[in-house]
Amino acid sequence: MKKTVCVGLISFIFVSSLLISIGFWLDIKFLMFNFYQETSKGFEAGGSLIPFIIGLICSYFIGNYYQKRQQSY
């Protein structure tokens, strides 16, 4: 069970990082996550949660696939 959680977490981090990197390299706004601070208004964060949602979905399927492979052996 611990290995399945670790595989899911690592896949989430990898997929999300990959999508955010692609967003910055190719200047795709819905794959970018920016954080910047405004002095007059306090702080302001901008960006998209789409890479994190896709990473979460991918980690779910990768974790299930890994768990099924472990049970078959």
pLDDT confidence of residue 37? 63
* Residue 41 main-chain phi, psi, to 5 deg: -105, 0
CA distance linking residue 56 with residue 40, whole number of Å: 35
CA distance linking residue 48 with residue 60, whole number of Å: 20
* Arithmetic mean of pLDDT over the chain: 86
Q: pLDDT tens digit string along 26-60? A: 988 888 877 666 667 677 667 788 999 999 999 99
pLDDT confidence of residue 47? 76
pLDDT confidence of residue 19? 94
Distances (CA, A) of 61 to 18, 22, 29, 58: 17, 22, 26, 5
Strands (E), the chain: 33-36, 44-47
Q: Domain extents for the chain?
A: 2-72
CA distance linking residue 20 with residue 15, whole number of Å: 9
